[in-house]
Chains A and B, each alone.
Chain A
Amino acid sequence: MKAWWLVPFCKTLHYFGITVLVGVVGLVDLRIFGVAKGLPLRPLQRLMPWAVVSFLIAAASGYALLRISPASALGPPLNIAFAAKIVWLVLIGLNDVLYFATGLKRQVDGVGAGQSTSASAKIVAAVSIILWVGVVYWSRVLTFLAGAI
């Protein structure tokens, strides 16, 4: 017998994690596009560990929700939106690996107040925003297909 508050509690944690994560990612991406140009990028990117911690909170609470009601995501039949969400998250991971491994992150660190970022940094930021919007979209379709809305 599960306590009634367990699912909303896990969903709240999941939402908190995603909120802070999207906050950090969104502000860094916007600055890369040239919004709030007065900000130097090195100290802004220092917020990234917060995004990592938030991701771990979202992942752990997401895993807990999956264990509580596996059928709503894993089926059978498999929830297409859940599969798409995981694929999108993997693509985000690859985009991040690209950002760090190619030295782009370090290049962006050198962009000071009032300076513009390179075109390649803008492309990676655009891909990041599009993919995160996709993750939120699939999450809503996931809930819809699971019959919860």
Chain B
Amino acid sequence: MHIVEILQRWTESNAFFTWLRESPSVWAYPFVFFVHTLGLVFTAGASVVIDARLLGAARRLPIAPLARFYGAIWIGLACTVLSGAVMLGSDLETRIKNPFFPVKMLFVVVAIVLTALLRSRISSVDSAESTVSPPMRALAAVSLLCWLGAIASGKFAAYF
């Protein structure tokens, strides 16, 4: 049996996903959606601001200490991914068929990989000079576009 079918059967019969799908309470599905939105705006927002710094905004801001923000960024990301997976499970069949779904997943995966790559490089940027190498600037530009792309494809997916 196909892995998607197995997951589908499980989420359809699972008590938690059924409750999430059917409960009219504001503390059911809307709350999970709230956690998703909150985690996403912080994670994407902080990443976009760091990307903008690497691309030349706020030049007087030293780069290396920005690495300390990643603890909060990873917490935000964990909230977003977990709540996203839960919402996906509550309506697996419809969501997986949405043409924007693979586009969004591609943006998200590339954005997360680039966030991890930039995190590992940021602490070694010389604070006195704060010069950013062209490859790092390229990573920052792609990261910025992927976060915005993930948000846009998520919004468009809801109308398709």
**A contacts with B: majority SS:** helix
Chain B min CB distance to A129 (Å)? 10
Question: How does the 8 Å CB contact mask read for A1-26 relative to B, with 1 for contact and 0 for none?
Answer: 00011011001100110111111101
Chain A min CB distance to B123 (Å)? 10
Q: Are B159 and A39 in contact (CB under 8 A)?
A: no
Which residues on A sit within 8 Å (CB–CB) of B127? Answer: 38
Which residues on A sit within 8 Å (CB–CB) of B52? Answer: 50
Q: Are A19 and B65 in contact (CB under 8 A)?
A: no
A47 to B48, CA, bound (A): 12
B82 at the interface (CB under 8 A from A): no
Q: Are A37 and B69 in contact (CB under 8 A)?
A: no
> Beyond A27-B69, A36-B69, A39-B66, is A15–B58 a contact (Cβ under 8 Å)?
no
Query: Which size bracket describes the interface of B in this complex?
Result: 35 or more
Which residues on A sit within 8 Å (CB–CB) of B37? Answer: 136, 139-140
> Beyond A8-B159, A35-B69, is A22–B45 a contact (Cβ under 8 Å)?
yes
Chain A min CB distance to B88 (Å)? 14
Chain B min CB distance to A48 (Å)? 10
Query: Which size bracket describes the interface of A in this complex?
Result: 35 or more
Residue of A23, A43, A113, A143 touching B44 (CB-CB under 8 A): A23
Binds A, one of B8-16, B25-33, B131-139: B25-33
Question: How does the 8 Å CB contact mask read for B19-44 relative to A, with 1 for contact and 0 for none?
Answer: 00000001001110110011011101
For window 26-78 of A, CB contacts with B under 8 Å fall at 26-27, 30, 35-40, 42-44, 46-47, 50
- Chain B residues proximal to chain A, CB less than 8 Å: 26, 29-31, 33-34, 37-38, 40-42, 44-49, 52, 57-58, 60-62, 64-69, 71-72, 127, 147-148, 151-152, 155-156, 158-159
